[in-house]
Amino acid sequence: MTITQLQYVLAVAEYKNFTLAAEKCFVTQPTLSMQIQKVEEELGVQIFDRTKKPIQLTEIGQKIVNQAKNIVNEADRIQDIVDQQKGFIGGEFRLGIIPTVMPTLLPMFLKNFIKKYPKVNLIIEELNTKEIISKLNNGHLDAAIAATPLEEEKIKEIVLYYEPFVAYIPENHNTSNKKEISISDLDINEILLLQDGHCFRDGILNLCKHKDLNTKNNFQLESGSFETLIKLSDEGLGVTLLPYLHTLELNEKDKAKLKHFEEPRPAREVSLIFPKNELKIHIIDALRNSISGIIKGAIAFHNVQIISPLQKK
């Protein structure tokens, strides 16, 4: 059997459909089916139960797929070894970034990275954490930038920075005259939140140890945009929390409404994550070094320490 045949097997195992798997592998459905049948005949077992809809792996098929993943990964590693030996940093690299990090971090490092490593074809997707984990495990992403810890068995995490939460407090709010605020000053029922599925939202809820969400308001809103939350806050409809880097581009009028937390400041941990098989580790290291350098520059320029003792492992 060949590596290509094993890739076809993995595609059908993932998509549970021969036609869709063939499309993803850029071959015709008869070609893919014939190659998988050859593998089954060679092994003398059925990998897939074709009587079920969607197609399911047989018991032995599941074991074969697990081993096929290892074989395909190790085959890919051969090219990695050659590239590292030659000092070559290039090729396709698929990177996922969560929505609350992409708008602020990506513009900070992307231009410098592609200028320094012009041979890397960087393909970037904005994905939520659940989608990132799935794509990393299925081999559809090489790495991602997400809030951690995730504690996923097959995923390695390298912390890039700790980003403080900053409160956006409208005028005439009962905490607007305070120089700094504490977690106890927050009322979860008046905090405007990102929509469900955002890890930043989950971090705020955990921070506030919420019980009854939005029971005091006569409306309930969850937005996917920090800009929307800021505008609603300005209308006196509540307060919101922002990740620190997002506050750097606010105008001076809006910056005057920001309140930092008392020490120790609550923060989120942002990490570069990737499969533990460490494929394309030379590009991962280059990406990590680029981002770390940019973050250090931002910290020095804005005279803010982007780190929280609460989030240290």
Label residue 172 by pLDDT band (50, 70, 90): confident
CA distance 290 to 223: 31
Q: What are the chain's domains? A: 3-84 (1.10.10.10), 89-160+270-311 (3.40.190.10), 163-267 (3.40.190.10)
CA distance 265 to 294: 22
pLDDT in tens, 216-229: 444 455 556 788 88
Residue 312 has a pLDDT of 47
> Which is more confident, 250 or 300?
250
pLDDT in tens, 183-214: 777 777 777 776 544 565 566 656 555 444 44
Question: Does 126 have pLDDT greater than 80?
Answer: yes
Please list, in sequence order, all residues whose beta carbon lies within 8 angstroms of the beta carbon of residue 54, skipping any fewer than 6 positions away. 16, 17
Question: Does 84 have pLDDT greater than 80?
Answer: no
Place of tokens 């990275």: 113
Q: Are 108 and 294 in contact (CB under 8 A)?
A: yes
Label residue 313 by pLDDT band (50, 70, 90): very low
Q: Quick one: which of 190, 162, 189, 112 has its CA closest to 268? A: 162
Residue 297 has a pLDDT of 67
